[in-house]
Amino acid sequence: QQQVKQSPQSLIVQKGGISIINCAYENTAFDYFPWYQQFPGKGPALLIAIRPDVSEKKEGRFTISFNKSAKQFSLHIMDSQPGDSATYFCAASKPGGFKTIFGAGTRLFVKA
Amino acid sequence: GAGVSQSPSNKVTEKGKDVELRCDPISGHTALYWYRQRLGQGLEFLIYFQGNSAPDKSGLPSDRFSAERTGESVSTLTIQRTQQEDSAVYLCASSSDRGLSPLHFGNGTRLTVT
């Protein structure tokens, strides 16, 4: 019940295309869903996050779509650029001092 | 400093030696995590500290691994009798809230066991 399942494991997209990464969770008590971006040699950094009271959040080329009934959320990267090539992690957390749960990660490569 | 600081950034040690890795979280952050990341792999949870609560040690892979945190400040991760399979990047992260704030990661300590 504590798992967050992330897919695909890896993704290759042409420059200018749309990258889509999906995550699914089981525990309905989760109420904070961040996405992290990690470049080689660096720690993950927060990219964008959403709470379940909204179905979509957009920041520049990055959008989170959230489907509460299906217990799924996804990251869309519009107009993907080679500089977006990185590993992306979804995560979920809930109040009360419980630890954040991470998905397994998606390695994105954007071809120039 | 403004971010999470980890030291050393790189550590090479001989098999069988003990190592100690340090994490300085962002001031005021009550939650602190340790993760292990093998090359090209995901984040393997090791241990979680939250305020004065008992730490969640459920991710520690063996009794060779231990971690301590002094109050809401520095944490050290100790690996005793290191093995080659311990080679990885060890990441520390801190957070300001009880589950509703993002984690701030350090850049990790790259451990190589020869």
Question: For position B97, what pLDDT does the model report?
Answer: 67
Instruction: Report the pLDDT averaged over residues B26-45.
Output: 93
Separation of alpha carbons A93 and A33, rounded Å: 7
Position B101 scores a pLDDT of: 85
Separation in Å, CA A22 to CA A58, A87, A105, B20, B49: 16, 13, 10, 37, 29
First to last CA, chain B: 33
Do residues A86 and A19 touch, judged by C-beta distance below 8 A?
no
Q: Indicate yes or no: CB of A99 within 8 angstroms of CB of B95.
A: no
Residue recorded with tokens 């509703």:
B100
Q: Is the dihedral of CA B90, A99, B58, B63 positive or negative?
A: positive
Shortest CA distance to B97 belongs to which of B31, B53, B32, B34?
Answer: B31
CB contact under 8 A, B99 and A100: yes
Residues in chain B within 8 Å Cβ distance of A103: 42
For A5-43, the pLDDT digits (tens) are 999 999 999 999 999 999 999 999 999 999 999 999 999
Looking at residue B35, its amino acid is Y
- Look up residue B98 and give its DSSP letter: S
CA-CA distance, A71 to A74, in Å (whole number)?
11
Locate the chain B residue with the closest alpha carbon to A48: B102
In chain B, the residue whose alpha carbon lies closest to the alpha carbon of A34 is B102
Instruction: Give per-residue pLDDT as tens, A59-104.
Output: 999 999 999 999 999 999 999 999 999 999 999 998 877 889 999 9
pLDDT tens-place string over residues B73-106: 999 999 999 999 999 999 999 998 666 789 999 9
Q: How far is B80 from chain A (nearest CA, A)?
A: 24
Pairwise CB contact (< 8 Å): A32 & B100: yes
- What was the pLDDT predicted at A98? 81
Per cent of chain B over pLDDT 70 is 96
